[in-house]
C-alpha cells in the first residue's frame, strides 16, 4: 500500500495562536500518516516507544523523546507507537505566530536560529529532555499570556542548549511567503499525489497558471531547488520508508517510487542518504534487531 505525504491543515482552538494537544494513550486504530505543514512542531513523548521518520531520517526511541520539526519538513505522525502509562504532548505554531517581525529583533536571534536548525529536524538529548518535558506538559493547562510567556521560556531553553542532535544532514524544508502559500499548497498536493509517476513541467506550471519559465524561477526562488530535484528527494524519502517497512525488492521499490531507471535511482539515493539502498536497508534491519 502506498503512503504519500499530504498537506495537513492545522487549526488552533479559538482565541489561541498555539495548538497544544496532549494524548494520554494511543490506540492501534490511530494510523500515523506521512505529511507536512507550514507550522513548526514540538513533540514530547513521556514513557513511550516507537519510530521517528522525519525527512530522510529514521530511528527508534524507547521511553521518551523530544523533537522539533521545522516548517514543511515531511514526517510521519507519531500516534502509531505503543505507550506504557505514557503521554504525548504536541505543540504546533506558525513561525510568525507573534507577528512577522517578532523573532527578527536582536533579543530573539537565538530563537530565530533555533527555527533555522529545525528545518533539518532536531532531537534533544537526555538532560534537556528531562528539564523541558515537564514544562511542555504544563503548557496544556495554561491560557492567555501565561501560555505565551511559558512557551517563550521553553523556546529560550531549547535555543540555548547544545544538548541536541540534528536529524537530517540534508533536510529539504523550504521557504514560503504568505502570498505564495496557495500556490505552494497546490504544487505540493500534486507532488504528494503523483510523485510515483512522471510529472511534466507543463503539467505542474499549468496547475498554478504560470508559464514554464516563470514557474521554474518561482519554484527555485521559493525552495532553493529545481522542481526535478525536489520531486526526486520526495521519491528517495518514500524509498527509505519502503526499505525499512516493506519486504519489496529494491528494484520494485525503485519503480514504485517513480524512478524509471535503476542506476539513476541508486545514484540519487546515495547522493541523498550517503549510502546505497542495500546498505540503508541492512542498517535499518540491524537497528530494529
| Residue 241 pLDDT grade (very low, low, confident, very high; cuts 50, 70, 90) | confident
pLDDT digits (tens, 9 = 90+) for 122-169: 999 988 998 999 999 999 899 889 999 999 999 999 999 999 999 875
Q: Determine the pLDDT at residue 285.
A: 77
Q: Determine the pLDDT at residue 266.
A: 94
Structural element, H or E, at residue 234: helix 227-245
Q: Are 29 and 216 in contact (CB under 8 A)?
A: no
Q: Are 132 and 123 in contact (CB under 8 A)?
A: no
Q: Are 24 and 87 in contact (CB under 8 A)?
A: yes
CA 268 – CA 259 distance, rounded (Å): 10
Q: Determine the pLDDT at residue 79.
A: 46
Q: What is this structure's pTM?
A: 0.62
Q: Are 5 and 173 in contact (CB under 8 A)?
A: no
- The dihedral built from the CA positions of residue 95, 96, 98 and 104, taken in this order, carries a sign that is positive
pLDDT digits (tens, 9 = 90+) for 84-133: 556 788 899 988 889 989 999 999 999 999 999 998 899 999 889 989 99
| Residue 274 pLDDT grade (very low, low, confident, very high; cuts 50, 70, 90) | confident
Cell numbers for 164, please give them: 541536541
Query: What's the CATH code, domain 178-288?
Result: 1.10.10.60
Query: What's the CATH code, domain 6-166?
Result: 2.60.120.280
- All structural domains of the chain with their residue ranges: 6-166, 178-288
CA 157 – CA 49 distance, rounded (Å): 25
Q: Is the pLDDT of residue 41 over 60?
A: yes
Cell numbers for 33, please give them: 500518516
Amino acid at each position: 500500500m502506498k503512503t504519500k505525504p499530504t498537506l495537513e491543515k492545522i487549526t488552533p482552538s479559538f482565541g489561541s495562536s498555539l495548538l497544544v494537544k496532549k494524548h494520554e494513550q494511543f490506540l492501534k486504530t490511530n494510523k500515523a500518516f506521512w505529511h507536512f505543514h507550514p507550522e513548526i512542531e514540538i513533540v514530547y513523548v513521556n514513557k513511550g516507544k516507537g519510530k521517528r521518520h522525519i525527512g530522510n531520517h529514521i530511528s527508534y526511541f524507547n521511553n521518551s523523546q523530544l523533537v522539533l520539526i521545522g516548517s514543511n519538513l515531511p514526517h510521519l505522525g507519531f500516534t502509531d507507537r505503543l505507550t506504557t502509562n505514557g503521554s504525548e504532548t504536541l505543540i504546533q505554531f506558525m513561525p510568525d505566530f507573534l507577528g512577522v517581525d517578532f523573532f527578527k529583533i536582536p533579543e530573539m536571534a537565538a530563537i530565530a536560529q533555533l527555527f533555522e536548525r529545525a528545518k533539518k529536524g532536531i532531537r534533544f538529548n537526555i538532560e534537556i529532555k528531562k528539564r523541558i518535558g515537564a514544562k511542555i506538559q504544563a503548557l496544556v493547562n495554561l491560557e492567555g499570556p501565561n501560555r505565551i510567556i511559558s512557551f517563550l521560556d521553553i523556546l529560550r531553553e531549547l535555543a540555548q542548549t547544545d544538548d541536541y542532535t540534528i536529524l537530517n544532514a540534508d533536510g529539504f524544508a523550504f521557504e514560503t511567503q504568505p502570498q505564495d502559500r496557495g500556490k505552494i499548497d497546490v504544487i505540493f498536493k500534486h507532488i504528494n499525489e503523483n510523485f510515483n509517476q512522471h510529472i511534466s513541467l507543463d503539467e505542474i506550471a499549468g496547475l498554478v497558471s504560470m508559464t514554464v519559465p516563470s514557474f521554474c524561477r518561482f519554484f527555485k526562488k521559493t525552495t532553493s531547488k529545481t522542481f526535478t530535484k525536489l520531486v526526486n528527494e520526495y521519491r528517495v524519502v518514500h524509498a527509505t520508508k519502503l526499505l525499512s517497512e516493506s519486504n519489496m525488492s529494491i528494484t520494485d521499490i525503485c519503480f514504485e517510487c517513480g524512478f524509471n531507471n535503476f542506476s539513476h535511482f541508486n545514484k540519487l539515493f546515495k547522493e541523498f542518504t550517503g549510502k546505497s539502498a542495500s546498505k540503508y536497508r541492512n542498517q535499518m534491519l540491524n537497528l530494529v534487531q
